[in-house]
Structure 1
């Protein structure tokens, strides 16, 4: 059931029964999405996730069979297939319907059913520092209702952590929001959680990555008039969150103990 119902599973992710912080910790997974023709760009991203100093229970790589917003087929290239074969056994590869940039979060929500599971989403062209997963999952485990973000610019976040239980089926009902909310996850997920759940974002760390890839012809900003026609209408739908307090900066878990 869900957009991942008929997936082509290239590899099943290994699951750690006891994480780096011992038994009893919540399940923590990282989810990435990319497109055919860009899978090789995610190679360094995956390598950095496997090099995290916090044991992950699963890594999902979502590769939709078509890029609906650009009306492009998603046939895997030889380079794509070579990358997937290389990570065989360490990454769970899925071929869901393209739901825009939110695919990486929605795909993981359908795969993970425990409401306490923490889903970390990162872009497929980002090389994360080794402490990224620990910082996000540690902050997400605090009692305060917050979405920890690793920020790089005002609207976009280079990584974010969520609890599965924060979402329900209404989150994927894009008939109730402007089209731009489906195309721009940066201005949809956070505002949706704030408006529907009272869960606010916190910026955890601003220097969370080693490298961010250049925009390509498949990037969201290549959609014609993407800001005026799609991004801004989604922001307007949530009234720019003008009725909400400003976003806070939250110290990392180890800093909070000082």
Structure 2
């Protein structure tokens, strides 16, 4: 197996002011340092992936840039420091976080959950987004009157992504969207992301343990291990990297 050379050369960072700019980001839980000087830049309409094993710091990164955690270093959304904007105002400005836990309202129906995602939009815009989400995930149409808690895990994940999209995000933070999904659901979500980017492109931060899924969708990726960025590059570069291939793609 190849050794990890901690190659963090930035691959083709976007021109112009980025949607999200993170530099020397450090986050600690007490004495435990969860992120150790992470640099990530996300341009308009890009999907930037953070990959790595469980415990690498991916969810911590997602929670931090969404305004949930204190940090040291720089994390700017559209030029403004995340910590100074605050979590509620970030949502108002289009930062929508689809969490690893999904955070659905289990005793509410699919359609009620979706409509809650558009609470900051008018009724006409809400109905347009609802039509968009149902077209994207037809399975949700079949379940529209079903309580969220009675759905399968994969259907709940579709609902969580759909609810995030109802907010018409400018930056969508997708935290571990494929955990535990059956292949058929994984394919549905994969096709959904492809359609979003083809028809109504948005900017996405994608965190994933499923390295193959991230390589198939991201424009650029950063590998996190133990809170550090150890590899950064395009999907083509990382597919050809011996360490990535041996450690995460099965050789």
Does the alignment reach a TM-score above 0.5?
A: no
Larger relative contact order (CA 8 Å, sep ≥ 6):
2
| More strand, by proportion | 2
TM norm structure 2: 0.29
